[in-house]
Structure 1
């Protein structure tokens, strides 16, 4: 098994009984391995694996090995934990459903935190990991404004959730491409003015949250947003509660376009009256209209 020779190496990241054999985790290893290869590319995965096998002393490679091990261990434990439920429930280690859900949620959160850390070190050390630049993950992340969960969290609180951040990468890329760029925003130069950068980032964050609210299930959303929804649900009857997600989507969407107005106003002033309003801006969905 790649990255684990002994069960103690696995137990460094996941506390399972020492009596568990490493072979018992093998069915969970292959799909976990495939997920990481899909993310960082086979060449980069192989380089990190070879560094583990040869016990490399290179500090960058050693750090990457730990991130891969931790991500693999958490992913593998999710499947193992589910499959061992019947055995666990027949002993004194029986758990309530909410305890099992919490365990899985922790594993998911830890998995994506470790993968986020891994991607950061790959991006920061392109001479050590040159093949990573050929992957889709690198090409997409290179065009983003929020490079990690911490940067996103500064503009809208997502509990620094790497899991949520990674799940919304494609939404962020979509908003940048379909909204900001079409309105004249140059992603590479948004830091030329503090107020302009603030408005761009706020607009992006709120629109990503709006689309995530509409597309994701409740459990896929950050805890802070989920709690707001649950609190609102308690105040209403069931029929009213079904519209809460739509209402919050609209609130977030409208807030995003409030900031986008500031962005477009700044661009218009920079272009000294030469700025042209995008053809698609006067949409009923936007809840506001420009005059030409």
Structure 2
């Protein structure tokens, strides 16, 4: 009997852990931590590992909190969509009160840890949670402009690393913010294209003008182009202490052109397969570009 009870406890603990991972979207949280660590490394000459650890932890809790609040608000719409209907809240594996307790705990932990680095970092962390939860999430069912609002908290992590390192928001942090800001549009609209029917069921407006057509892809192409220009601009030394070598700018531009290529293909075909390639190339782009910037910096 004891062994049965033990195995049941183990199973329920595993379920709880898996549900917590889903509630806080651990994978997404880790990619955000990656961005903020890259931003930090770009700003420092000597790495302070304590600050780096605090930034990673604070950033992780901050994104986890945003995701938990988001799932509390969208519990009913999550139940409608195939992609989200097995989440812990729509299936009632987790109560809203428990999820709310986790969200609040993560908010307090995230902002407190970021505050221990410096108050500016905590402020941007708090702005990020607030905009994601109180502006982006409710706007999704109202207007396609929600993506613009959502791009602001989405672009904060890269810049957050710089602010954590320097206690200063200047042109460098502004550039890091812009790179990730403009990147979000092709990325999110590619997802919006793939999930268009599902989002429509839930009443979400995630494509420009809420239409799945060539007009939407024209916007994707436009923002991809702007993203490439902003990403290579540091080669002109217009972004303060954040600049890159010409060879680096060429590599970054080529990565951007891969995205542009898939965006043009999507414009021609309007097929989900091309939208998926665009989405995957956008994930590759933001990850590799951040690594390239850091490598470039340590070659200076």
Q: Which TM bucket (shorter chain)?
A: 0.3 to 0.5
Larger relative contact order (Cα-Cα within 8 Å, sequence gap ≥ 6) = 2
Higher helix share: 2
